[in-house]
A and B are shown apart, each in its own frame.
Chain A
């Protein structure tokens, strides 16, 4: 090749051409998007399979190759899954929502007040208590699970929603920590003005701090809603009556009992997942911010 000047020049030209930035960028983008589309399909596939199975007739669900798009579309599967008299999903939904409302109200109120104390007031022992608060973030649940059960059992609270809701009215370490960080960035001047006007601490929190802290309150509300929605172990421990089950526990029992009726099981799974997915689409920013801000996993 070295003997032919033309070929030599051509190959050198081609070489520099393929190495040019534009081509490199194009190759890079093609590789990146090919991987993204491939992996995206892999991650989305279970959702597709679930929805497709939820809408199939029973005879279609066990065929191979699978019928990807159900025909006929069995919307009635949803009605059948939800109307099961042994596993009343409408009750599970109502139970879950009652717990959600009680927990969110309690957590937001108590954590705001506690976080205000840690952010704005000075008192002897404050740093000590704050260190304890941070330490409790690391504590695994199992250590306190059994005595808590015994305590609530003694109080006669087993088989009620009280063990699942009352603790939320006594603060929650990660929410307090996150709110404290946010409150510290709120200008002090406004509070002082309120103070001069004779506002009490609770009034200052209610009329000055809360309106300025809507973003962090939203993040906490959404993450807390999700955690409660998905919680399985606590309702499993405290609720032994099928009429009190939450959606997660109800679905687990449905799974145990109706093994072969996969289309109904998938319809029930869609019902359990859908509200969170819808919430996610409306509150995507808060979800993403919450994870990255708090550093707590989703």
Chain B
């Protein structure tokens, strides 16, 4: 459509207003998002940073307290350390469990030739189920007396724990349950596996590499970007765990984060401060510290990724 060659004088003269016109249209197009950015992201972020230095119950006017909320968090609030501990313990066990389960399932699916669709559906389905429904379902699966898990344990002579009613086991029940919903991670691994060129495996095989060396030397390095992505997303997600812990603890133990604070996740503590006790200032401070923790962990992961994530494009360097 456009003719080749240098622009005529006429075109050059018209270009300036046309560019201005396009700028206006661009900003009109992105206006909804810009407004949303100010109203629902940037504005609230500034407000929440400010609120974190106040005491405010939404009834009387906010009172400036400086760093008090942050000091309280680290020195006076025993539930704070408990909630942080619960969240860290959960993440340390749940993230590796999810990643290895997802990787194992993806490799199995990649090795299979027939019926892949059926199995992929079975493994993926749990992850689209509402977290509330999954929590309700699992509290029945792990019912101490009538649930199938303890029933199966009884068959081999083991007396199963009370799971969600026992402070020693409630968190482990949640870790176990999180392994059920790995479908999303599995699909990302599966896509990664499909993208590994078969020539690499053939070359390794000619060199006499068996199954295990091929996995270590070819599959894992080629899959490392997908592992890295799943690791970061999974970690960010597990630090924000809320739904399942809320549903199970309020129904089984009658309190948020019960029994005996054993499932008092960071987000539950935050929610309780904000919406049960209306401590909006303190809850804002909690939110900011959580944000900084997540940001810090993400940056550490990004930094470390240079050491173990292999990107195809960098091979020439």
Contact = CB atoms under 8 A, between A and B. Distances in A.
Given A36-B112, A126-B26, A256-B250, A43 B137 contact: no
A39 B105 CA distance: 9
Contacts of A122: 19, 22, 26
A142 B290 contact: yes
Given A139-B41, A143-B45, A192-B1, A265 B132 contact: no
Given A35-B108, A46-B137, A226-B128, A146 B274 contact: yes
B126 interface: yes
A123 B27 contact: yes
A146 B43 CA distance: 12
B130 A132 contact: no
Nearest to B294: A140
A118 interface: yes
B contacts with A: majority SS: helix
A62 interface: yes
Interface in B239-255: 239-240, 242-243, 246-247, 250-251
Interface residues of B, number: 98
Interface string B116-130: 001111111111111
A contacts with B: majority SS: helix
B132 A272 contact: yes
28 contacts: A32-B108, A36-B108, A49-B141, A53-B140, A65-B151, A110-B36, A117-B25, A117-B28, A126-B26, A141-B240, A148-B44, A151-B43, A167-B40, A230-B130, A230-B132, A247-B130, A249-B132, A255-B136, A256-B250, A265-B140, A291-B188, A292-B188, A292-B190, A295-B188, A297-B188, A297-B237, A298-B124, A298-B187
Interface of A: 28-29, 32-33, 35-36, 39-40, 43-47, 49-50, 53, 61-62, 64-66, 110, 113-114, 116-118, 121-124, 126, 129, 132-133, 136, 138-151, 153, 167, 169-171, 176, 189, 192, 201, 226, 229-230, 232-233, 236-237, 247-249, 251-252, 255-256, 259, 262, 265-266, 269, 272-273, 276-277, 280, 284, 287-288, 291-292, 295-298
